[in-house]
């Protein structure tokens, strides 16, 4: 049986060394004498994960092509530069120029963007990713409220929809079956959803899920099927839902605004276009990956509990109070949660109409 993926120990010292070395350096891409800009890119995803391949990989490849080779990248995957929750700070400080930023990992910094992860909203990754990307673009509510004040500019947006429950020893058929379970959660809005169903969210890095489930430290986890295979969860889980729609996980590849301003306009345009293409590539990979992930679970003997139409209403009723509580929580901290939820629903309908018109 495989062990949980782990980072190389020597890499743990890298973030501190880089932070100390960059304390006096302005956050800016490296400019070479021939007009080539080199950007440091970092994320938290293992090699083979769609975020790394269809997201970061496509962004860098297309940016190199569209810029005629004037954009180059030094890429540090799999938390080589720091934990997922540390990456926004590393980007802002200039340790890296561009990296993965997931609102769920930094809910205090990007609270309103958690709207995209609420349960029951998104079933298709491409519909969700495109809709959220628009709200994170200049003029969008998530840009204005979250990203712009933090000097972060999203270039790629990826969404894993249809979060399911994977458990080691206890099957889940109805929302009531979640009560009392301890479930690893990615944080942010997903934590609220897990709590809303009566379970206890447990925060831990994704790399520790395997061991925690195998030892019974947690009863299971909540995630998209696409993320099960990279962490080999089919080896330690026995049950999984299909159609619970407990929420989504939204991730961006965002660039430091100061680094963005340093780039000439034509290179910004190349990055912008590459980001749009990567968003489309990533959403297709995530949608396909979810399907493949479900099949991997089935092939390994994990029992899949499908939520049928008769059960659907019970799950829908259970999610409604979670939306209401989230908007109330946003109002408590002075954020327009109701407006963000309304804008997201409107944008989702708009993207669905556009997709229908293209068919």
Query: What pLDDT was estimated at residue 139?
Result: 96
Query: What pLDDT was estimated at residue 305?
Result: 95
The two beta strands, 200-203 and 71-76, are unpaired
Domains, the chain, in order of start with CATH, read: 103-359 (3.40.190.170)
Q: Which of 148, 142, 107, 158 is nearest to 258 (CA)?
A: 148
Distance (Å, rounded) from C-alpha 215 to C-alpha 208? Answer: 11
Distance (Å, rounded) from C-alpha 128 to C-alpha 290? Answer: 14
Distance (Å, rounded) from C-alpha 336 to C-alpha 234? Answer: 40
- In tens digits, what is the pLDDT along the chain, a chain of 359 residues? 444 443 333 333 344 434 444 444 445 788 877 899 999 999 999 888 899 999 999 999 999 999 999 999 999 999 999 999 999 999 999 999 999 999 999 999 999 999 999 999 999 999 999 999 999 999 999 999 999 999 999 999 999 998 999 999 999 999 999 999 999 999 999 999 999 999 999 999 888 999 999 999 999 999 999 999 889 999 999 999 999 999 999 999 999 999 999 999 999 999 999 999 999 999 999 999 999 999 999 999 999 999 988 898 999 899 999 999 999 999 999 999 999 999 999 999 999 999 988 87
Q: Which of 338, 344, 333 is nearest to 323 (CA)?
A: 338
CA dist list (Å): 285 to 105, 172, 268:
22, 27, 25
Strand partners, 152: 256
Task: Give me the half-sphere count of Cα atoms (radius 13 Å) on the Cβ side of residue 116.
Answer: 33
Distance (Å, rounded) from C-alpha 247 to C-alpha 119? Answer: 4
Residue 82 phi, psi (nearest 5): 155, 170
The predicted model scores a pTM of 0.89
Q: 130: which residues sit within 8 A by CB, 6+ positions away?
A: 157, 279, 280, 283, 351
Distance (Å, rounded) from C-alpha 192 to C-alpha 148? Answer: 25
Return the C-alpha torsion angle 282, 287, 288, 290, nearest 10: 120
Query: What pLDDT was estimated at residue 207?
Result: 86
Question: Residue with structure tokens 């002075």?
Answer: 334
As separate numbers, helices (DSSP H) first and strands (DSSP E) second, the chain gives 12, 12
H or E segment to which residue 50 belongs: helix 50-50
Query: For the chain, where are the E strands, in sequence order?
Result: 30-31, 37-42, 71-76, 98-101, 152-160, 164-167, 182-185, 200-203, 220-223, 239-242, 249-256, 303-306
The two beta strands, 249-256 and 152-160, are antiparallel
Query: What pLDDT was estimated at residue 27?
Result: 55
């Amino acid at each position: 049986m495989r062990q949980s993926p782990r980072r190389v120990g020597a890499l743990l010292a890298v973030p501190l060394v880089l932070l100390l070395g960059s304390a006096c350096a302005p956050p800016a891409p490296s400019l070479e004498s021939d007009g080539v800009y080199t950007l440091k890119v970092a994320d938290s995803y293992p090699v083979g994960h769609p975020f790394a391949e269809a997201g970061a990989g496509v962004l860098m490849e297309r940016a190199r092509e569209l810029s005629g080779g004037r954009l180059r990248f030094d890429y540090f995957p799999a938390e080589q530069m720091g934990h997922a929750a540390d990456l926004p700070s590393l980007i802002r400080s200039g340790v890296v120029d561009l990296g993965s930023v997931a609102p769920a990992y930094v809910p205090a910094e990007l609270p309103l963007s958690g709207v995209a992860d609420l349960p029951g909203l998104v079933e298709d990754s491409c519909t969700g990713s495109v809709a959220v990307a628009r709200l994170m673009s200049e003029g969008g509510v998530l840009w204005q409220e979250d990203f712009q004040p933090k000097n972060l500019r999203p270039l790629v947006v990826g969404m894993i929809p249809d979060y399911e429950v994977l458990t080691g020893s206890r099957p889940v058929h109805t929302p009531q079956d979640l009560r009392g379970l301890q479930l690893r959660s990615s944080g942010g809005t997903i934590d609220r959803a897990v709590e809303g169903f009566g379970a206890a969210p447990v925060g831990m890095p994704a790399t520790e899920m395997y061991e925690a489930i195998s030892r019974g430290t947690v009863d299971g986890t909540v995630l998209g099927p696409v993320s099960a295979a990279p962490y080999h969860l089919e080896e330690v889980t026995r049950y999984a839902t299909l159609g619970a729609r407990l929420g989504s996980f939204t991730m961006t590849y965002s660039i430091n605004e100061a680094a963005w301003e340093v780039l000439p306009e034509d290179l910004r345009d190349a990055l912008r276009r590459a980001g749009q293409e990567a968003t489309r590539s990533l959403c297709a990979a995530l949608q396909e990956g979810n399907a493949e992930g479900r099949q991997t679970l089935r092939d390994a003997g994990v029992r899949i509990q499908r939520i049928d139409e008769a059960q659907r209403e019970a799950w829908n009723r259970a999610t409604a109070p979670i939306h209401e509580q989230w908007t109330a929580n946003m109002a408590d901290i002075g954020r327009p949660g109701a407006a963000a939820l309304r804008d997201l629903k409107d944008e989702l309908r708009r993207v669905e109409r556009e997709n229908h018109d293209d068919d």
